[in-house]
Amino acid sequence: MQDIEAHLKHIIDTFSSLIRYVIAANLHKTDNVNLEDIEQEVKIKIWKFLNKGKKVDNLTSYIKRVAYTATIDELRKMRKQNPVSETEGLKNIYAVSRIKELGNPEDSPESLMEGREMRESLKGLIDSLSENRKQVLRLYLVGMSVEEICEFFDWDKTKVRHLLYRGIDDLKDKMRSHQQSVGSNPSDSLAVKE
């Protein structure tokens, strides 16, 4: 029995860095998820599976798959528990860009231009989304609730939420790509500084 446990511990220790790599590769720095918690859960799943004496043809592939699915499950669980945080952050970005665009009489011309550019950049990225996602996201950003958007389009709540969250995911990807193409830090132009 001790030989089996020592063997299982050796396998898990050997693949620890791979597990961490797969988890980290599927998380974004804005995801409010603890990497160590997911890593521990993955190790427990692997331990239980192998402890049952089950054979795996490709252990590396199996471990990658377990790490990936555990990470995705944790992200889904987190979003169900706190579905508003990401959308509220996007609303804040939009509001700040609008405030900067409208400006304050005391603002410098550079600050006013920065606000206009931020808003135009965000609008351009939103315009590049699919039509339904774009429509839902625009309405949400101008202050409509999910329920109001449902009434506006006569769509069910599941569809509107799906379009909103998929639109946000697409927008985040486009923002990252945009920031990489202009060679600046994502927090410089499209993020809210607190």
**Number of domains within the chain:** 2
Task: Based on the fold, state whether residues 51 and 141 are members of the same structural domain.
Answer: no
Last residue of a domain, one of 29, 53, 81: 81
Domain holding 136, by residue range, is: 85-189
Task: Based on the fold, state whether residues 76 and 90 are members of the same structural domain.
Answer: no
Give per-residue pLDDT as tens, 32-70.
778 888 899 999 988 888 888 888 888 888 888 898 888
The pLDDT value recorded for residue 100 is: 41
The pLDDT value recorded for residue 121 is: 78
165 within domain boundaries: yes
Residues of the chain with pLDDT under 50: 84, 96-105, 184-194
25 within domain boundaries: yes
The pLDDT value recorded for residue 88 is: 56
Task: Based on the fold, state whether residues 180 and 103 are members of the same structural domain.
Answer: yes
Task: Based on the fold, state whether residues 181 and 89 are members of the same structural domain.
Answer: yes
Task: Based on the fold, state whether residues 68 and 148 are members of the same structural domain.
Answer: no
Task: Based on the fold, state whether residues 112 and 177 are members of the same structural domain.
Answer: yes
Last residue of a domain, one of 81, 114, 146: 81
Last residue of a domain, one of 64, 81, 98: 81
Q: What is the CATH number of the domain that holds 67?
A: 1.10.1740
| pTM of the complete model | 0.43
194 within domain boundaries: no
Closest to 133 (Cα-Cα) out of 179, 172, 166? 166
Q: Name residues whose C-beta falls within 8 Å of residue 126's C-beta, 6 or more positions apart in sequence.
A: 134, 137, 138, 141, 171
